[in-house]
A and B are shown apart, each in its own frame.
Chain A
């Protein structure tokens, strides 16, 4: 067996905070990384995964105390002098960080940033730096590298920036790459490109990659080996197939059961109860014990933290009772579908040819310099009691559509009818009355609750505004609402910052329900939550819909979540709906090439199935909405595009016999004629 590139032994990291408190963030981590492999470290927020990676190269801030041993190519990192560390970072490790919009210096040319580490470490002569930068950009498949090398980061699109960062990480031909959530900030089609690039660069260089992520789909798609972290320790590690097939730690098993899957049929999610532990409040014994199905309440689990031990098939698990984990045979309790057949009823909400255009004004005279057609002719019907999802990548106009329906953004054209009555041109009072029937749940529970109000006041606020607080029963009614969303009325006097993300989102939902609306617009309601909390909130939404007969307009980018919750799905691209149909039709027999690519790009948390499926690698990125392509907006990236597509906009039609409605001249099932996985990538300027 070859020697490991990186060997971490009993790594412990404590943070000393301002009040001289000591918080243990990493509490004894062991792992190795061997050449030519991808090791995924997966965990929720607070699990210590990023800190582990940063500690491995001494990049932690000064208030971090690091103990244990980290050997990189045989050299000890912990306690090494600055000289050694600098040389190591310059030559042996390359880093890719999460957000490509902030990891590059805005006022330094990209090419210079890519090579300066090598120039400084004496690996590259200053006069060769530009040529080397061009070469690196070419290697990461950025078009026009000569020009790009002397541009600044703001002239790059998000995906291109991350390509440049990957090129930079590989510039010194390092023996190890550490990528910390490298695709979290990117759209799913761009994520697929970047992950593919990382994997291919690894093949070419042989340098192993440590990939840190919270996304089990990304793990399944990329990893050779997996380390699952919880509460500052690795709780399970092993080959990727083994981990997903037969998890040997209750946390891994529970996590896999709690996520909605793209490739499984209806079943109610099985959430992990409680909150992820934070380093500041670890329970004694096993940190997962309070949430564990297997060990909860058992004296051994409560008193003794289990060590990692061999559980066969090259896996290790830190669980006293790992052999008692029940197999994944939960009865498929079906998720309730909409009870009525939609066609029999009048739609509750009808969006007709909605257009929302923004003007970009420039200069002192505020001349209109450009129009952004954020929403450009969207039509959609929502029938009572059903869930319709708007899904698409950033900039597709899904949130704008939702906010316009809510009356938060004025429409430029088209009409919105609620219960058969037009909402456009309503007086303030009329709008206000209608608004009681539709409410909005925001994506970010951290910013959607007023920090200076108690949660009781927050939930009661809509009632006060409409002057019906006493009419509906005052504090007693608020208590009922709290109960309905699974919060205790004992929490009334607390402020939002005393709540966890999932609880805050429950408060947000309670507030939206206060006025007894008939329609909820849910704008990415689980996107900001930890994986294990998402299931709790999704189940809550399910229950509320059934109990209250609510209609949902669900806005999301996560295709698995959408599949789980929707009755019907509309796929948006650059301000238009490109395909719409029942959930199963969209997922099982999509006919728009964009829907097909989107579904194939979404990582699925099943390594075996993932390897079998054919992937469509889209070219380029979503174009600038203020300067959209002529004809079909998707045509520049489309694998079926013909001459006609580049000049003519395809109308949205629901052809007889077709399972879905589509806006495409070449709609059809993805069959043997599907494109090869390898498409020569031609990067378009993303902006």
Chain B
């Protein structure tokens, strides 16, 4: 009940500003379209050779690709690829990164040293190269793309959670639990973690935008989710070959992709403002 109230308050807070509100609206449309793709009267695979590389028309709102497939349909199915990859990647990153950060920050000492060195190694390579190296090992598949993007998100989670734990650990309410006999486990999961959810939530949203970008970049480079699965990055890759004949081909999926990334980013920043400074209104009254 409490978390529901929290959720409603957060969404109301987001809707109060035009940027986050529009972003939320756009993402809702994208998510709905991706979820209900089968129900919609579209088909991303049927080839209409007459329409090959024809521009937008009443039959094909976004035009058709080099095999005469409907670009709008492929954009909608591509959204599904993007969102699924992002969700899976964030889940992987969180499942590994959050416990890493908790343990490193809470126990310190050798555990912290070892875990943070691992994080450092993962950050020594730019995310995209790290993902490419992983795909080189695993081979190219949807699973590999998902795993690779997910693993690049681990350091971010680990570091943010660790930093949060380190700040919270010094706070008296955590020491207090220790003083009346709470165990480390109790403190970690009942005191520190509940106080870290808002930071984690912000990171989830920010990472979603990064994951979508990364998935698209991998597909653009030809090492992401393999065809024929529709993917925005793959569409840009092919579209780039037809810049002279069909400029809309590379432009329209790019708009969908860019708006999605921007929306996640805007919402992430909006959340950070609301959650990390919830009492900025109450705190008014000037520097007394």
User: So, do A and B actually touch in the complex, CB under 8 Å?
Assistant: yes
Q: A448-B173, A450-B173, A451-B195 are in contact. Are A439 and B180 (CB under 8 A)?
A: yes
A435 within 8 A of B: yes
B120 within 8 A of A: no
- B177-200 vs A, CB cutoff 8 Å, 1 = contact: the mask equals 111111100100001001100000
Q: A46-B288, A61-B287 are in contact. Are A435 and B180 (CB under 8 A)?
A: yes
B284 within 8 A of A: yes
B125 within 8 A of A: no
Give the contacting residue for A278; candidates B175, B181, B285; CB below 8 A.
B285
Chain B residues with CB under 8 Å of A497's CB are: 279, 282
Please state if A465 and B177 are interface contacts (CB–CB under 8 Å).
yes
Most B Cβ at <10 Å: residue of A47, A449, A465: A465
Chain A residues with CB under 8 Å of B171's CB are: 447-448
Chain A residues with CB under 8 Å of B180's CB are: 435-436, 439, 461-462, 465-466, 511, 514-515
Chain B residues with CB under 8 Å of A46's CB are: 285, 288
Min CB–CB distance A540 → chain B (angstroms): 19
Please state if B284 and A280 are interface contacts (CB–CB under 8 Å).
yes
A64 within 8 A of B: yes
Give the contacting residue for A280; candidates B172, B177, B194, B285; CB below 8 A.
B285
- A30-68 vs B, CB cutoff 8 Å, 1 = contact: the mask equals 000000000000000111111100100000110010000
Please state if A49 and B288 are interface contacts (CB–CB under 8 Å).
yes
Chain B residues with CB under 8 Å of A49's CB are: 288
Give the contacting residue for A50; candidates B173, B178, B186, B288; CB below 8 A.
B288
Min CB–CB distance A481 → chain B (angstroms): 14
Please state if A450 and B191 are interface contacts (CB–CB under 8 Å).
yes
Closest to A462 in B: B180
CB proximity to B under 8 Å, residues A404-449 = 406-408, 428, 431-432, 435-436, 439-440, 442-444, 447-449
A18 within 8 A of B: yes
A23 within 8 A of B: yes
A462→B173 CA distance, assembly (Å):
12
B29 within 8 A of A: no
CB proximity to A under 8 Å, residues B239-288 = 279-282, 284-288
Please state if A15 and B176 are interface contacts (CB–CB under 8 Å).
no
Chain B residues with CB under 8 Å of A436's CB are: 180-181
- A501-527 vs B, CB cutoff 8 Å, 1 = contact: the mask equals 000000000010011000000000000
Chain A residues with CB under 8 Å of B173's CB are: 447-451
Closest to B284 in A: A17
Min CB–CB distance A343 → chain B (angstroms): 30
Please state if A442 and B176 are interface contacts (CB–CB under 8 Å).
yes
Give the contacting residue for B284; candidates A18, A431, A465, A466; CB below 8 A.
A18
A21→B279 CA distance, assembly (Å):
14
Chain B residues with CB under 8 Å of A13's CB are: 286
Please state if B172 and A15 are interface contacts (CB–CB under 8 Å).
no
Please state if A408 and B179 are interface contacts (CB–CB under 8 Å).
yes
A60→B287 CA distance, assembly (Å):
9
A452→B279 CA distance, assembly (Å):
14
Give the contacting residue for B176; candidates A279, A511, A515; CB below 8 A.
A511
Q: How large is the interface on B (under 10, 10 to 19, 20 to 34, 35 or more residues)?
A: 20 to 34
A17→B283 CA distance, assembly (Å):
9
A449→B171 CA distance, assembly (Å):
9
A400→B191 CA distance, assembly (Å):
23
Q: A450-B195, A462-B181, A465-B180 are in contact. Are A17 and B287 (CB under 8 A)?
A: no
CB proximity to A under 8 Å, residues B159-182 = 171-173, 175-182
A19 within 8 A of B: yes
Chain A residues with CB under 8 Å of B181's CB are: 431-432, 435-436, 462, 465-466
Chain B residues with CB under 8 Å of A514's CB are: 180
Min CB–CB distance B26 → chain A (angstroms): 26
Please state if A25 and B288 are interface contacts (CB–CB under 8 Å).
yes
Chain B residues with CB under 8 Å of A465's CB are: 177, 180-182, 186
Min CB–CB distance A517 → chain B (angstroms): 9
Chain A residues with a Cβ closer than 8 Å to the other chain, count: 50
A49→B284 CA distance, assembly (Å):
16
Min CB–CB distance A267 → chain B (angstroms): 31
A23→B285 CA distance, assembly (Å):
6
Min CB–CB distance B15 → chain A (angstroms): 15
Please state if A444 and B286 are interface contacts (CB–CB under 8 Å).
no
Min CB–CB distance A658 → chain B (angstroms): 37
A465→B179 CA distance, assembly (Å):
11
Please state if A64 and B286 are interface contacts (CB–CB under 8 Å).
yes
Chain B residues with CB under 8 Å of A23's CB are: 284-286
Chain B residues with CB under 8 Å of A18's CB are: 280-281, 284
A482→B249 CA distance, assembly (Å):
68
Chain A residues with CB under 8 Å of B284's CB are: 15, 17-18, 21, 23, 280
A436→B181 CA distance, assembly (Å):
8
- B195-236 vs A, CB cutoff 8 Å, 1 = contact: the mask equals 100000000000000000000000000000000000000000
Please state if A45 and B288 are interface contacts (CB–CB under 8 Å).
yes
Min CB–CB distance B202 → chain A (angstroms): 16
Please state if A54 and B287 are interface contacts (CB–CB under 8 Å).
yes
A447→B179 CA distance, assembly (Å):
15
Chain B residues with CB under 8 Å of A435's CB are: 179-181
Chain A residues with CB under 8 Å of B176's CB are: 440, 442, 448, 511
Chain A residues with CB under 8 Å of B281's CB are: 17-19
A442→B177 CA distance, assembly (Å):
12
Min CB–CB distance B71 → chain A (angstroms): 44
Closest to B180 in A: A462
A450→B285 CA distance, assembly (Å):
25
Chain A residues with CB under 8 Å of B282's CB are: 497
Min CB–CB distance A170 → chain B (angstroms): 24
A47→B186 CA distance, assembly (Å):
42
A139→B285 CA distance, assembly (Å):
38
Chain B residues with CB under 8 Å of A439's CB are: 179-180
A23→B287 CA distance, assembly (Å):
12
A79→B284 CA distance, assembly (Å):
24
A458→B178 CA distance, assembly (Å):
13
- B128-151 vs A, CB cutoff 8 Å, 1 = contact: the mask equals 000000000000000000000000
Closest to A49 in B: B288
A140→B151 CA distance, assembly (Å):
58
Please state if A406 and B179 are interface contacts (CB–CB under 8 Å).
yes
Please state if B287 and A51 are interface contacts (CB–CB under 8 Å).
yes
A465→B185 CA distance, assembly (Å):
12
Min CB–CB distance A400 → chain B (angstroms): 13
Chain B residues with CB under 8 Å of A432's CB are: 181
Please state if A279 and B179 are interface contacts (CB–CB under 8 Å).
no
Closest to A26 in B: B286
Chain B residues with CB under 8 Å of A408's CB are: 175, 178-179
Chain A residues with CB under 8 Å of B172's CB are: 442-444, 447-448
Chain B residues with CB under 8 Å of A15's CB are: 284-286
Chain B residues with CB under 8 Å of A444's CB are: 172
A99→B235 CA distance, assembly (Å):
59
Min CB–CB distance A57 → chain B (angstroms): 14
Chain B residues with CB under 8 Å of A452's CB are: 194-195
Closest to B192 in A: A450
15 extra interchain contacts, Cβ-Cβ under 8 A, other than A50-B287, A442-B176, A444-B172? A15-B284, A18-B284, A19-B281, A25-B288, A46-B288, A51-B286, A439-B179, A440-B176, A452-B195, A462-B180, A465-B177, A465-B180, A465-B182, A466-B180, A515-B180
Please name the 5 residue pairs, one residue from A and one from B, whose CB atoms are nearest each other, closest first. A17-B284, A448-B172, A462-B180, A432-B181, A442-B172
Q: List 27 A-B contacts (CB under 8 A).
A: A17-B285, A18-B280, A18-B281, A23-B284, A23-B286, A25-B285, A61-B286, A61-B287, A280-B284, A403-B175, A406-B179, A407-B179, A408-B175, A408-B178, A432-B181, A435-B179, A435-B181, A440-B176, A440-B179, A442-B175, A448-B176, A449-B173, A450-B177, A451-B173, A465-B181, A465-B182, A466-B181
